[in-house]
Protein backbone atom coordinates (compact mmCIF):
# COMPACT_ATOMS: atom_id res chain seq x y z
CA UNK A 1 0.00 0.00 0.00
CA UNK A 2 2.84 2.36 0.91
CA UNK A 3 4.61 1.66 -2.37
CA UNK A 4 1.44 2.33 -4.32
CA UNK A 5 1.09 5.64 -2.49
CA UNK A 6 4.65 6.71 -3.37
CA UNK A 7 4.30 5.55 -6.99
CA UNK A 8 1.09 7.55 -7.41
CA UNK A 9 2.74 10.54 -5.72
CA UNK A 10 5.70 10.29 -8.08
CA UNK A 11 3.48 10.18 -11.17
CA UNK A 12 1.56 13.22 -9.93
CA UNK A 13 4.85 15.01 -9.17
CA UNK A 14 6.18 14.41 -12.68
CA UNK A 15 2.90 15.59 -14.21
CA UNK A 16 2.98 18.73 -12.04
CA UNK A 17 6.57 19.37 -13.09
CA UNK A 18 5.55 19.05 -16.74
CA UNK A 19 2.61 21.40 -16.51
CA UNK A 20 2.74 23.93 -13.67
CA UNK A 21 5.49 26.15 -15.07
CA UNK A 22 3.37 27.02 -18.07
CA UNK A 23 0.45 27.96 -15.81
CA UNK A 24 2.52 29.88 -13.23
CA UNK A 25 6.24 30.40 -14.08
CA UNK A 26 7.62 30.54 -10.46
CA UNK A 27 6.71 26.84 -10.11
CA UNK A 28 9.88 26.20 -12.11
CA UNK A 29 11.70 26.60 -8.80
CA UNK A 30 9.86 23.73 -7.11
CA UNK A 31 11.30 20.32 -7.86
CA UNK A 32 8.31 18.07 -7.17
CA UNK A 33 9.92 14.76 -8.29
CA UNK A 34 12.92 15.43 -6.03
CA UNK A 35 10.61 15.80 -3.02
CA UNK A 36 8.99 12.44 -3.72
CA UNK A 37 12.37 10.78 -4.34
CA UNK A 38 13.60 12.10 -0.98
CA UNK A 39 10.39 10.93 0.69
CA UNK A 40 10.82 7.47 -0.85
CA UNK A 41 14.44 7.38 0.31
CA UNK A 42 13.36 8.32 3.84
CA UNK A 43 11.26 5.14 3.93
CA UNK A 44 14.64 3.28 3.95
CA UNK A 45 13.88 1.21 0.88
CA UNK A 46 16.99 2.22 -1.01
CA UNK A 47 16.45 0.03 -4.10
CA UNK A 48 13.01 1.44 -4.81
CA UNK A 49 14.21 4.95 -4.02
CA UNK A 50 17.06 4.87 -6.54
CA UNK A 51 14.78 3.38 -9.19
CA UNK A 52 12.28 6.16 -8.53
CA UNK A 53 15.14 8.65 -8.78
CA UNK A 54 16.22 7.40 -12.20
CA UNK A 55 12.71 7.18 -13.65
CA UNK A 56 11.58 10.57 -12.34
CA UNK A 57 14.83 12.20 -13.47
CA UNK A 58 14.65 10.88 -17.02
CA UNK A 59 10.94 11.78 -17.26
CA UNK A 60 11.83 15.37 -16.32
CA UNK A 61 14.85 15.45 -18.64
CA UNK A 62 12.78 14.30 -21.61
CA UNK A 63 10.82 17.55 -21.58
CA UNK A 64 13.75 19.78 -20.70
CA UNK A 65 16.34 21.54 -22.80
CA UNK A 66 19.11 20.02 -20.68
CA UNK A 67 21.03 16.82 -21.17
CA UNK A 68 19.03 13.62 -21.16
CA UNK A 69 20.02 11.72 -18.01
CA UNK A 70 21.36 14.69 -16.02
CA UNK A 71 18.38 14.78 -13.67
CA UNK A 72 18.33 10.99 -13.65
CA UNK A 73 21.95 10.97 -12.48
CA UNK A 74 21.50 13.56 -9.75
CA UNK A 75 18.24 12.16 -8.40
CA UNK A 76 19.57 8.58 -8.33
CA UNK A 77 22.59 9.75 -6.36
CA UNK A 78 20.43 11.72 -3.95
CA UNK A 79 18.05 8.81 -3.41
CA UNK A 80 20.99 6.63 -2.41
CA UNK A 81 22.62 9.22 -0.15
CA UNK A 82 19.36 10.05 1.64
CA UNK A 83 18.41 6.39 2.09
CA UNK A 84 21.86 5.64 3.53
CA UNK A 85 21.55 8.56 5.94
CA UNK A 86 18.02 7.48 6.88
CA UNK A 87 19.32 3.97 7.56
CA UNK A 88 21.82 5.30 10.08
CA UNK A 89 20.04 8.28 11.59
CA UNK A 90 16.50 8.49 12.90
CA UNK A 91 14.85 10.97 10.51
CA UNK A 92 11.18 10.47 11.20
CA UNK A 93 10.91 13.82 12.92
CA UNK A 94 9.70 16.55 10.56
CA UNK A 95 12.22 19.06 11.92
CA UNK A 96 15.02 16.73 10.87
CA UNK A 97 13.46 16.16 7.48
CA UNK A 98 13.48 19.84 6.52
CA UNK A 99 17.29 20.12 6.40
CA UNK A 100 17.40 16.78 4.55
CA UNK A 101 15.09 18.16 1.84
CA UNK A 102 17.11 21.39 1.67
CA UNK A 103 20.41 19.50 1.49
CA UNK A 104 19.06 17.17 -1.18
CA UNK A 105 17.91 20.16 -3.21
CA UNK A 106 21.32 21.83 -3.00
CA UNK A 107 23.14 18.62 -3.90
CA UNK A 108 20.75 17.98 -6.79
CA UNK A 109 21.38 21.44 -8.24
CA UNK A 110 25.14 21.17 -7.81
CA UNK A 111 25.33 17.73 -9.43
CA UNK A 112 23.04 18.83 -12.28
CA UNK A 113 25.10 21.96 -12.87
CA UNK A 114 28.37 20.07 -12.54
CA UNK A 115 27.39 17.37 -15.02
CA UNK A 116 26.44 19.98 -17.62
CA UNK A 117 29.70 21.85 -17.11
CA UNK A 118 31.65 18.60 -17.27
CA UNK A 119 30.12 17.81 -20.66
CA UNK A 120 30.64 21.33 -22.00
CA UNK A 121 27.05 22.56 -21.77
CA UNK A 122 26.13 26.11 -20.80
CA UNK A 123 23.07 26.62 -18.63
CA UNK A 124 20.77 29.52 -19.36
CA UNK A 125 20.02 30.51 -15.76
CA UNK A 126 22.67 31.84 -13.36
CA UNK A 127 23.88 29.32 -10.77
CA UNK A 128 23.43 31.09 -7.43
CA UNK A 129 20.13 32.79 -8.20
CA UNK A 130 18.56 29.59 -9.52
CA UNK A 131 19.97 27.52 -6.66
CA UNK A 132 18.67 29.97 -4.05
CA UNK A 133 15.17 30.15 -5.49
CA UNK A 134 15.03 26.38 -5.97
CA UNK A 135 16.23 25.83 -2.41
CA UNK A 136 13.51 28.08 -0.99
CA UNK A 137 10.73 26.79 -3.25
CA UNK A 138 11.54 23.10 -2.94
CA UNK A 139 12.12 23.19 0.83
CA UNK A 140 8.80 24.94 1.53
CA UNK A 141 6.83 22.75 -0.89
CA UNK A 142 8.74 19.66 0.31
CA UNK A 143 7.85 20.25 3.96
CA UNK A 144 4.16 20.58 3.12
CA UNK A 145 4.15 17.55 0.80
CA UNK A 146 6.03 15.34 3.30
CA UNK A 147 3.55 16.33 6.02
CA UNK A 148 0.68 15.53 3.67
CA UNK A 149 2.13 12.16 2.66
CA UNK A 150 2.91 11.27 6.28
CA UNK A 151 -0.70 11.84 7.22
CA UNK A 152 -1.57 8.98 4.85
CA UNK A 153 0.95 6.58 6.37
CA UNK A 154 -0.51 3.24 7.25
CA UNK A 155 -0.33 1.89 10.77
CA UNK A 156 1.78 -1.07 9.59
CA UNK A 157 4.41 1.30 8.22
CA UNK A 158 4.53 3.26 11.45
CA UNK A 159 5.04 -0.02 13.31
CA UNK A 160 7.76 -1.01 10.84
CA UNK A 161 9.53 2.31 11.42
CA UNK A 162 9.30 1.84 15.17
CA UNK A 163 10.80 -1.64 14.83
CA UNK A 164 13.62 -0.33 12.65
CA UNK A 165 14.76 1.98 15.40
CA UNK A 166 13.52 -0.07 18.32
CA UNK A 167 14.15 1.50 21.73
CA UNK A 168 16.86 -0.19 23.72
CA UNK A 169 15.72 -2.64 26.29
CA UNK A 170 16.24 -1.16 29.69
CA UNK A 171 17.04 -3.48 32.52
CA UNK A 172 15.28 -2.70 35.69
CA UNK A 173 17.54 -1.30 38.35
CA UNK A 174 17.78 -3.33 41.41
CA UNK A 175 17.07 -1.65 44.63
CA UNK A 176 20.40 -1.54 46.49
CA UNK A 177 18.60 -1.63 49.82
CA UNK A 178 16.80 -4.80 48.86
CA UNK A 179 20.03 -6.45 47.76
CA UNK A 180 21.26 -6.83 51.29
CA UNK A 181 17.90 -7.93 52.61
CA UNK A 182 17.56 -11.49 53.68
CA UNK A 183 14.32 -13.15 52.96
CA UNK B 1 16.21 -13.90 11.28
CA UNK B 2 15.17 -14.42 7.64
CA UNK B 3 14.00 -10.82 7.38
CA UNK B 4 17.37 -9.59 8.64
CA UNK B 5 19.25 -11.60 5.99
CA UNK B 6 17.05 -10.16 3.23
CA UNK B 7 17.71 -6.65 4.49
CA UNK B 8 21.45 -7.33 4.46
CA UNK B 9 21.20 -8.63 0.92
CA UNK B 10 19.38 -5.48 -0.08
CA UNK B 11 22.09 -3.32 1.50
CA UNK B 12 24.77 -5.27 -0.35
CA UNK B 13 22.92 -5.06 -3.66
CA UNK B 14 22.14 -1.33 -3.52
CA UNK B 15 25.65 0.08 -4.24
CA UNK B 16 25.97 -2.13 -7.31
CA UNK B 17 22.58 -1.08 -8.57
CA UNK B 18 23.50 2.53 -7.90
CA UNK B 19 26.69 2.22 -9.94
CA UNK B 20 24.83 0.61 -12.85
CA UNK B 21 22.12 3.29 -12.88
CA UNK B 22 24.62 6.15 -12.53
CA UNK B 23 26.71 4.72 -15.33
CA UNK B 24 23.61 4.32 -17.52
CA UNK B 25 22.60 7.92 -16.91
CA UNK B 26 26.13 9.15 -17.58
CA UNK B 27 26.33 7.28 -20.89
CA UNK B 28 22.96 8.74 -21.88
CA UNK B 29 24.19 12.25 -21.00
CA UNK B 30 27.48 11.85 -22.83
CA UNK B 31 25.70 10.53 -25.93
CA UNK B 32 23.19 13.37 -25.80
CA UNK B 33 25.95 15.97 -25.41
CA UNK B 34 27.92 14.50 -28.29
CA UNK B 35 25.14 14.37 -30.85
CA UNK B 36 22.86 17.27 -29.97
CA UNK B 37 21.44 17.83 -33.43
CA UNK B 38 19.69 14.47 -33.43
CA UNK B 39 16.61 13.72 -31.44
CA UNK B 40 16.19 11.00 -28.86
CA UNK B 41 13.49 8.34 -28.89
CA UNK B 42 12.86 8.88 -25.15
CA UNK B 43 12.22 12.59 -25.71
CA UNK B 44 9.92 11.96 -28.65
CA UNK B 45 7.66 9.48 -26.92
CA UNK B 46 7.65 11.24 -23.57
CA UNK B 47 6.59 14.41 -25.35
CA UNK B 48 3.86 12.54 -27.19
CA UNK B 49 2.57 11.09 -23.91
CA UNK B 50 2.87 14.42 -22.10
CA UNK B 51 0.79 16.14 -24.78
CA UNK B 52 -2.39 14.49 -23.52
CA UNK B 53 -1.74 15.92 -20.05
CA UNK B 54 -0.15 19.27 -20.90
CA UNK B 55 -2.69 20.40 -23.45
CA UNK B 56 -5.84 20.21 -21.27
CA UNK B 57 -4.05 21.54 -18.19
CA UNK B 58 -2.70 24.52 -20.15
CA UNK B 59 -6.17 25.24 -21.51
CA UNK B 60 -7.69 24.98 -18.04
CA UNK B 61 -4.92 27.15 -16.56
CA UNK B 62 -5.42 29.82 -19.20
CA UNK B 63 -9.17 29.76 -18.57
CA UNK B 64 -8.70 30.10 -14.80
CA UNK B 65 -6.19 32.93 -15.19
CA UNK B 66 -8.56 34.63 -17.61
CA UNK B 67 -11.39 34.16 -15.11
CA UNK B 68 -9.48 35.81 -12.26
CA UNK B 69 -8.34 38.61 -14.51
CA UNK B 70 -11.91 39.26 -15.55
CA UNK B 71 -13.02 39.15 -11.90
CA UNK B 72 -10.35 41.73 -11.03
CA UNK B 73 -11.55 43.89 -13.89
CA UNK B 74 -15.10 43.54 -12.66
CA UNK B 75 -14.12 44.73 -9.19
CA UNK B 76 -12.62 47.91 -10.56
CA UNK B 77 -15.70 48.40 -12.69
CA UNK B 78 -17.91 47.94 -9.63
CA UNK B 79 -16.41 50.95 -7.91
CA UNK B 80 -16.98 53.06 -11.01
CA UNK B 81 -20.49 52.00 -11.73
CA UNK B 82 -22.67 50.17 -9.21
CA UNK B 83 -25.67 49.99 -11.47
CA UNK B 84 -23.89 47.85 -14.02
CA UNK B 85 -22.55 45.51 -11.36
CA UNK B 86 -25.30 42.94 -11.43
CA UNK B 87 -25.49 42.83 -15.19
CA UNK B 88 -21.76 42.33 -15.44
CA UNK B 89 -21.85 39.52 -12.89
CA UNK B 90 -24.61 37.79 -14.82
CA UNK B 91 -22.56 38.02 -17.99
CA UNK B 92 -19.30 37.21 -16.24
CA UNK B 93 -18.69 33.90 -17.94
CA UNK B 94 -19.58 35.25 -21.36
CA UNK B 95 -17.34 38.27 -20.87
CA UNK B 96 -14.48 36.05 -19.84
CA UNK B 97 -14.90 33.85 -22.89
CA UNK B 98 -15.18 36.80 -25.22
CA UNK B 99 -12.12 38.50 -23.70
CA UNK B 100 -10.07 35.39 -24.17
CA UNK B 101 -11.29 34.99 -27.73
CA UNK B 102 -10.56 38.64 -28.51
CA UNK B 103 -7.03 38.40 -27.20
CA UNK B 104 -6.43 35.18 -29.07
CA UNK B 105 -7.91 36.73 -32.20
CA UNK B 106 -5.56 39.72 -31.95
CA UNK B 107 -2.54 37.53 -31.53
CA UNK B 108 -3.57 35.27 -34.39
CA UNK B 109 -4.26 38.28 -36.62
CA UNK B 110 -0.77 39.54 -35.95
CA UNK B 111 0.58 36.15 -36.86
CA UNK B 112 -1.59 36.15 -39.99
CA UNK B 113 -0.08 39.48 -41.02
CA UNK B 114 3.28 37.81 -40.75
CA UNK B 115 1.89 34.92 -42.74
CA UNK B 116 0.93 37.24 -45.56
CA UNK B 117 4.35 38.89 -45.56
CA UNK B 118 6.29 35.67 -45.42
CA UNK B 119 7.42 33.56 -48.38
CA UNK B 120 7.18 30.30 -46.48
CA UNK B 121 4.26 28.27 -45.32
CA UNK B 122 3.46 29.29 -41.76
CA UNK B 123 1.67 27.18 -39.17
CA UNK B 124 0.50 28.74 -35.94
CA UNK B 125 1.00 26.84 -32.73
CA UNK B 126 0.24 27.29 -29.07
CA UNK B 127 2.82 26.84 -26.31
CA UNK B 128 1.51 24.04 -24.12
CA UNK B 129 4.54 23.49 -21.91
CA UNK B 130 7.66 25.18 -20.63
CA UNK B 131 10.97 23.64 -19.65
CA UNK B 132 10.64 21.28 -16.69
CA UNK B 133 13.92 22.50 -15.30
CA UNK B 134 14.61 25.98 -13.90
CA UNK B 135 17.98 25.95 -15.66
CA UNK B 136 16.71 26.09 -19.25
CA UNK B 137 14.11 27.96 -21.27
CA UNK B 138 12.86 25.57 -23.93
CA UNK B 139 9.14 25.30 -24.69
CA UNK B 140 6.76 22.72 -26.13
CA UNK B 141 4.24 23.54 -28.87
CA UNK B 142 1.12 21.68 -29.95
CA UNK B 143 2.27 20.90 -33.50
CA UNK B 144 4.25 17.79 -34.37
CA UNK B 145 5.47 15.69 -37.25
CA UNK B 146 1.86 14.89 -38.22
CA UNK B 147 1.45 18.62 -38.96
CA UNK B 148 4.58 18.70 -41.10
CA UNK B 149 6.94 20.07 -38.46
CA UNK B 150 10.52 18.84 -38.80
CA UNK B 151 13.73 19.16 -36.85
CA UNK B 152 15.47 22.59 -36.99
CA UNK B 153 12.48 24.44 -38.46
CA UNK B 154 12.50 28.13 -37.41
CA UNK B 155 10.00 29.50 -34.91
CA UNK B 156 8.86 33.13 -35.14
CA UNK B 157 6.38 35.50 -33.55
CA UNK B 158 5.28 38.78 -34.99
CA UNK B 159 8.25 40.57 -33.44
CA UNK B 160 10.84 38.30 -35.02
CA UNK B 161 12.79 35.10 -34.64
CA UNK B 162 12.33 33.06 -31.47
CA UNK B 163 14.22 29.81 -31.96
CA UNK B 164 14.15 26.46 -33.70
CA UNK B 165 12.64 23.01 -33.32
CA UNK B 166 14.96 20.61 -31.46
CA UNK B 167 12.74 17.54 -31.00
CA UNK B 168 9.58 16.44 -32.78
CA UNK B 169 7.01 13.92 -31.65
CA UNK B 170 3.93 13.08 -33.74
CA UNK B 171 1.81 15.59 -31.80
CA UNK B 172 4.23 18.07 -30.24
CA UNK B 173 7.58 19.70 -30.82
CA UNK B 174 10.21 21.08 -28.47
CA UNK B 175 11.71 24.45 -29.32
CA UNK B 176 15.01 25.90 -28.21
CA UNK B 177 15.17 29.66 -27.89
CA UNK B 178 17.76 31.91 -29.54
CA UNK B 179 18.69 33.23 -26.10
CA UNK B 180 20.38 29.92 -25.32
CA UNK B 181 24.16 30.05 -25.29
CA UNK B 182 24.57 27.27 -27.86
CA UNK B 183 22.17 28.70 -30.42
CA UNK B 184 24.53 30.37 -32.87
CA UNK B 185 23.09 31.85 -36.06
CA UNK B 186 24.37 33.93 -38.94
CA UNK B 187 23.31 37.59 -38.82
CA UNK B 188 23.92 40.95 -40.41
CA UNK B 189 23.68 44.51 -39.09
CA UNK B 190 21.12 46.33 -41.24
CA UNK B 191 19.34 45.14 -44.37
CA UNK B 192 20.69 42.03 -46.05
CA UNK B 193 22.41 42.94 -49.30
CA UNK B 194 23.08 46.53 -48.19
CA UNK B 195 25.49 45.80 -45.35
CA UNK B 196 28.64 43.75 -45.00
CA UNK B 197 28.67 43.76 -41.22
CA UNK B 198 28.25 40.01 -40.90
CA UNK B 199 28.64 38.10 -37.67
CA UNK B 200 27.35 35.32 -35.45
CA UNK B 201 24.63 35.84 -32.83
CA UNK B 202 24.67 33.80 -29.63
CA UNK B 203 22.67 33.79 -26.42
CA UNK B 204 24.24 35.17 -23.24
CA UNK B 205 23.82 34.43 -19.56
CA UNK B 206 21.17 37.20 -19.53
CA UNK B 207 17.83 35.94 -20.76
CA UNK B 208 16.85 39.10 -22.65
CA UNK B 209 20.18 39.83 -24.34
CA UNK B 210 21.90 38.38 -27.40
CA UNK B 211 25.52 38.90 -28.34
CA UNK B 212 26.84 39.38 -31.87
CA UNK B 213 30.46 38.39 -32.48
CA UNK B 214 32.99 38.56 -35.29
CA UNK B 215 31.73 41.80 -36.86
CA UNK B 216 34.96 43.44 -38.16
CA UNK B 217 36.09 46.34 -35.99
CA UNK B 218 36.44 48.72 -38.96
CA UNK B 219 32.71 48.42 -39.87
CA UNK B 220 30.46 51.28 -38.85
CA UNK B 221 27.93 49.92 -36.37
CA UNK B 222 25.56 52.11 -34.33
CA UNK B 223 23.26 51.63 -31.38
CA UNK B 224 19.62 51.17 -32.43
CA UNK B 225 20.37 49.44 -35.74
CA UNK B 226 18.36 46.33 -36.60
CA UNK B 227 19.86 42.85 -36.92
CA UNK B 228 18.56 40.34 -39.47
CA UNK B 229 19.38 36.72 -40.22
CA UNK B 230 21.57 35.93 -43.24
CA UNK B 231 20.56 32.33 -43.84
CA UNK B 232 24.19 31.26 -44.00
CA UNK B 233 23.82 29.01 -40.98
CA UNK B 234 21.75 26.56 -43.04
CA UNK B 235 18.89 26.59 -40.51
CA UNK B 236 17.16 29.97 -40.56
CA UNK B 237 15.94 31.72 -43.72
CA UNK B 238 17.50 35.10 -44.57
CA UNK B 239 15.83 38.38 -43.65
CA UNK B 240 14.19 37.46 -40.35
CA UNK B 241 14.33 40.22 -37.76
CA UNK B 242 16.34 39.39 -34.65
CA UNK B 243 16.40 42.58 -32.63
CA UNK B 244 18.01 45.95 -32.13
CA UNK B 245 21.50 46.88 -30.98
CA UNK B 246 21.55 48.12 -27.39
CA UNK B 247 25.31 48.37 -26.85
CA UNK B 248 28.41 48.37 -29.02
CA UNK B 249 31.86 47.74 -27.59
CA UNK B 250 33.86 49.17 -30.43
CA UNK B 251 36.69 47.07 -31.81
CA UNK B 252 39.68 48.05 -33.90
CA UNK B 253 41.19 47.06 -37.24
CA UNK B 254 42.24 43.72 -35.78
CA UNK B 255 39.70 43.27 -32.96
CA UNK B 256 36.02 42.67 -33.86
CA UNK B 257 33.15 44.62 -32.34
CA UNK B 258 31.25 43.17 -29.43
CA UNK B 259 27.58 43.92 -30.02
CA UNK B 260 24.69 43.36 -27.62
CA UNK B 261 21.17 42.97 -28.97
CA UNK B 262 17.73 43.08 -27.42
CA UNK B 263 15.52 40.46 -29.14
CA UNK B 264 12.49 42.03 -30.79
CA UNK B 265 10.30 39.03 -29.94
CA UNK B 266 8.82 39.02 -26.45
CA UNK B 267 10.22 35.62 -25.63
CA UNK B 268 9.16 35.35 -22.00
CA UNK B 269 5.51 36.25 -22.50
CA UNK B 270 4.70 34.56 -25.79
CA UNK B 271 1.74 32.20 -25.90
CA UNK B 272 1.35 31.57 -29.60
CA UNK B 273 4.14 31.14 -32.10
CA UNK B 274 4.43 30.34 -35.79
CA UNK B 275 6.45 27.52 -37.28
CA UNK B 276 8.04 28.31 -40.64
CA UNK B 277 7.77 25.26 -42.85
CA UNK B 278 11.14 26.04 -44.32
CA UNK B 279 13.72 23.70 -45.80
CA UNK B 280 17.11 25.35 -46.25
CA UNK B 281 18.69 25.07 -49.71
CA UNK B 282 20.98 22.04 -50.09
CA UNK B 283 24.52 22.86 -49.05
CA UNK B 284 27.45 21.84 -51.22
CA UNK B 285 28.90 18.55 -50.10
CA UNK B 286 32.10 18.68 -48.11
CA UNK B 287 34.14 16.94 -50.75
CA UNK B 288 32.80 19.12 -53.54
CA UNK B 289 33.56 22.28 -51.60
CA UNK B 290 37.24 21.44 -51.23
CA UNK B 291 39.42 22.61 -54.12
CA UNK B 292 41.58 19.47 -54.14
CA UNK B 293 38.75 17.00 -53.57
CA UNK B 294 38.48 13.97 -55.80
CA UNK B 295 35.14 13.95 -57.56
CA UNK B 296 33.05 10.81 -58.05
CA UNK B 297 33.57 10.85 -61.82
CA UNK B 298 37.35 10.91 -61.37
CA UNK B 299 37.13 8.02 -58.90
CA UNK B 300 35.27 5.93 -61.49
CA UNK B 301 37.86 6.85 -64.15
CA UNK B 302 40.80 5.87 -61.94
CA UNK B 303 39.16 2.50 -61.18
CA UNK B 304 38.67 1.89 -64.90
CA UNK B 305 42.34 2.74 -65.58
CA UNK B 306 43.51 0.21 -62.98
CA UNK B 307 41.42 -2.49 -64.60
Q: Kindly report, residue by residue over B72-129, the tens digit of the pLDDT.
A: 776 666 666 667 666 666 666 676 777 777 777 777 777 766 655 556 788 888 888 8
Most confident range (mean pLDDT) of A43-47, A120-124, A155-159, B27-31 is: B27-31
- Least confident window among A14-18, A159-163, B60-64: A159-163
d(CA B219, CA B197): 6
For residue A78, the chain B residue with the least C-alpha distance is B18
Contacts of A83 in chain B (CB under 8 A): 14
Q: Are B105 and B89 in contact (CB under 8 A)?
A: no
User: What φ, ψ does residue B175 adopt, rounded to 5°?
Assistant: -115, 140
Q: Which residues contact A171 (CB under 8 A, 6 or more apart)?
A: none
Contacts of A138 in chain B (CB under 8 A): none
**Residue closest to A11 by CA, chosen among A56, A42, A69:** A56
Q: Are B157 and B177 in contact (CB under 8 A)?
A: no
Q: What is the DSSP letter of A54?
A: H
pTM, full prediction: 0.73
- What local confidence, expressed as pLDDT, does residue B255 receive? 87
Q: Are B185 and B207 in contact (CB under 8 A)?
A: no
- For domain B185-275, the question of CATH label 2.60.200.20 is answered with no
Q: Are A29 and A140 in contact (CB under 8 A)?
A: no
Q: Are B134 and A130 in contact (CB under 8 A)?
A: yes
- Cβ separation of B29 and A112 shorter than 8 Å? no
Burial class of residue B209, CB neighbours in 10 A (0-12, 13-18, 19+)? middle
**Residue closest to A64 by CA, chosen among B167, B12, B272:** B167
**Whether the domain at B41-177 and the domain at B185-275 fall into the same CATH topology:** yes
- What local confidence, expressed as pLDDT, does residue A80 receive? 93
Confidence grade of residue A143 (pLDDT, cut at 50, 70, 90): very high
- Cβ separation of B28 and A72 shorter than 8 Å? yes
Does residue B93 sit at the A interface (CB-CB below 8 Å)?
A: no
- Cα distance from A94 to chain B (closest Cα, Å)? 25
Domain ranges of chain B: 41-177, 185-275
User: What φ, ψ does residue B273 adopt, rounded to 5°?
Assistant: -135, 175
Please state which CATH number belongs to domain B41-177.
2.40.10.340
Mean pLDDT of A147-168: 67
- What local confidence, expressed as pLDDT, does residue B62 receive? 75
d(CA B132, CA B12): 34
Residues pairing with B201 in the sheet: B185, B212
Nearest to A64 among B58, B133, B207 (CB): B133
Mapping DSSP onto H, E and C, the string for chain B reads: CHHHHHHHHHHHHHHHHHHHHHHHHHHHHHHHHHCCCCCCHHHHHHHHHHHHHHHHHHHHHHHHHHHHHHHHHHHHHHHHCCCCHHHHHHCHHHHHHHHHHHHHHHHHHHHHHHHHHCCCEEEEEEEEEECCCCCCCCEEECCCHHHCCCCCCEEEECCEEEEEEEEECCCCEEEEECCCCCCCEEEEECCECCECCEEEEEECCCCCCEEEEEECCCCCCCCCCEEEECCCCCCCCCCCEEEEEEEEECCCCCCCEEEEEEECCCCCCCCEEEEEECCCCCCCCHHHHCCCCCCHHHHHHHHHHHC
Confidence grade of residue B23 (pLDDT, cut at 50, 70, 90): very high
Domain ranges of chain A: 2-159
d(CA A104, CA B184): 35
**Residue closest to B238 by CA, chosen among B302, B281, B184:** B281
Does residue A161 sit at the B interface (CB-CB below 8 Å)?
A: no
Question: What is the percent of chain B where pLDDT is above 70?
Answer: 77
CATH topology for the A2-159 domain:
Arp2/3 complex 21 kDa subunit ARPC3 (1.10.1760)
- Cα distance from A165 to chain B (closest Cα, Å)? 14
Q: What is the DSSP letter of A28?
A: G
Does residue A28 sit at the B interface (CB-CB below 8 Å)?
A: yes
d(CA B72, CA B89): 12
Q: Are A57 and A33 in contact (CB under 8 A)?
A: yes
B120/A59: higher pLDDT: A59
Confidence grade of residue B307 (pLDDT, cut at 50, 70, 90): very low
Most confident range (mean pLDDT) of B68-82, B186-200, B214-228 is: B214-228
d(CA B241, CA B222): 17
Amino acid sequence: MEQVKITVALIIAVVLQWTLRNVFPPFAFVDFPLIIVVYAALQRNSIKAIFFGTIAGIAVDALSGGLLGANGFSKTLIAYVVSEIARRVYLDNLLLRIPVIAGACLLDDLVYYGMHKLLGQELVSPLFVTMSYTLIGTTIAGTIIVLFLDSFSSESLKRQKRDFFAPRRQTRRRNPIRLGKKS
Amino acid sequence: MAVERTQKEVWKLTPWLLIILLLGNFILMAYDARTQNKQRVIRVWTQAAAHFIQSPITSAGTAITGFFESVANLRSAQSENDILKQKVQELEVKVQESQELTQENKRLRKLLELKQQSDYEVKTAQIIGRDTSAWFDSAIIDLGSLDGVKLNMPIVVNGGLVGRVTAVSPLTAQIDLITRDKSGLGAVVGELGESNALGIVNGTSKKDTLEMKYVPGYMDVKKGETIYTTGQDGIYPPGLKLGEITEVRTGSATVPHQIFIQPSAKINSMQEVAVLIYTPPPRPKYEEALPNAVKDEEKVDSKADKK
